[in-house]
Amino acid sequence: MEKKIIDDYEPGPLPSPRKMDRFGFLKQEINNPPDGLAKGREERRVRKWRKMIGVGGSDWKHYVRRKPHVVKRRIRKGIPDCLRGLVWQLISGSRDLLLMNPGVYEQLVIYETSASELDIIRDISRTFPSHVFFQQRHGPGQRSLYNVLKAYSVYDRDVGYVQGMGFLAGLLLLYMSEEDAFWLLVALLKGAVHAPMEGLYQVGLPLVQQYLCLFDLLMKEHMPKLGEHFTQEMINPSMYASQWFITVFSYSFPFHLALRIWDVFLYEGVKIVFKVGLALLKYRHDDLVKLPFEKLIHALRNFPEDAMDPDTLLPMAYSIKVSRRLEELKQEYNKKDGKPSLSTEIKGNQRQVQ
C-alpha cells in the first residue's frame, strides 16, 4: 500500500499583502491602533491565567478542583488568545487522550485509507475560505485540515466524514497542531468530558433532530409570544438553527464571538449553544414577532452586528437558565424513542425556503 505523506507544518500565518484582522481573516477596514489601557488589562489577565494553569498546564487540574467557580468565571470572560489552544486541550480532556495514544495519529494519516478522501478534498476549500491559513490551494492549512479529517474518518468509520466537521477541525487547527486538533475532535465526538457529539454527524443526524426539538420547546417556554408567531408562520428550528449545533456557531458567526462561545462550550458543554440561540431570539424578539415568513427566515439567518457583540450577547445567554429543564426534556425525548409530539412539526409542514 502506498504511504500517504503527513505534513510537518504547524499552524501559522502565511505572508499576505492584504489587510487581515487579528485572527488572520482578510478584511477591508484598517486595524485600529491598540488601546494602551486595554493592552495593559490584557497583559494582567494573561499573567493570571498563566499562574492558574502552570507551566504547560501542570497546575490546571489542581486549580480547577480548588477554585471551580473562579475558573468558570474567567472562562466566561474569555480565554486569552495566546493561551486558548492549550486551555482548550486541558478543559476538553484531549491532552490526556493524546498522551494515552502515542503514535496513533501518525498511523491513521500515513498508513490508513479512507472512503471519504474525495469528499474531504472537495470540501477543503469551503472551510474558512477568507482565512489566510486556509486560502492557499494545497497549502499547509488545507493539507493539515485534510489530514485531521481523513484521520478521524478512519478512526471512527461509523461516523466517517460529514461536511460540518470541517469547521470544527479548521477552528481547532488555528490554535494547535494537527495531532492536538485530531484528539480534541475525538474528545468532542466521543465524549471525553461532556456528552458525545457524534450523533450530530451520524446517518440521519439523530442528535441534530433531538437538539432542534428541545430548542423549539425551550424557545416556546421562554418566549411564548414568539413561539406562537413561529407556529403561525410555520417556522421551525431546522430552518435556521441546524448549523448552530452542527458547527457550534463557527460556520457563519463572527469569529471573535465564535471563540468566546467555544471557550464556554468546551468547559460547560452543549447547553451554551441553547443559551446563545435563545439569547439571539430574545435580543430580536420585538422585531421577529412582527415579521412574515420570508422576512423571518432572512432575519433568523442574518442577525445584526449589534446582536453579535460578545459582551452584549453572552451575559444575556448566561442569564438564561436551561440546565435542569434541558435535562428533563432530554429524558422525555428519550422515553418517547426520539419521537416527541413536536417532531412532526419540525420534520413536516415546512415551506420551501427560496
pLDDT digits (tens, 9 = 90+) for 16-61: 456 777 777 676 444 455 566 778 888 999 999 999 999 988 899 9
What is the predicted pLDDT for the residue at 3? 39
Same domain assignment for residues 288 and 193: no
pLDDT(147) > 50: yes
- Where b means 16+ CB within 10 Å and e means fewer, 174-189 reads bbbbbbbbbbbbbbbb
Ranking 15-29, 36-50, 144-158, 187-201 by mean pLDDT, the lowest is: 15-29
Q: Of residues 302 and 40, which shows the higher confidence score?
A: 302
- The residue among 166, 199, 232 that closes a domain is 199
Question: Which of 219, 225, 206, 131 minimizes the C-alpha distance to 172?
Answer: 131
pLDDT at 23: 72
Mean pLDDT, the chain, rounded, equals: 87
pTM (2 decimals)? 0.86
**Quick check: is 189 in a domain?**
yes
Query: Which one is predicted more confidently, 36 or 168?
Result: 168
157 with 209, same domain? no
Whether residues 175 and 112 fall in one domain? yes
pLDDT score recorded for residue 181: 97
User: According to the model, what pLDDT value does residue 17 have?
Assistant: 52
Within a domain: 294:
yes
The sign one gets for the Cα dihedral 102, 83, 91, 249 is negative
What pLDDT sits at residue 57?
87
Assess whether pLDDT exceeds 80 at residue 15: no
**What is the DSSP code (8-state) at residue 14?**
P
Residue at 18 is within a domain = no
Would 13 be classed as within a structural domain? no
Q: How many domains does the chain have?
A: 3
Dihedral of the alpha carbons of 326, 283, 262, 273, in degrees to the nearest 10: 20
Residue 337: domain span: 204-347
Residue indicated by cell numbers 488545507: 142
Q: Quick one: 193 and 208 in the same domain?
A: no
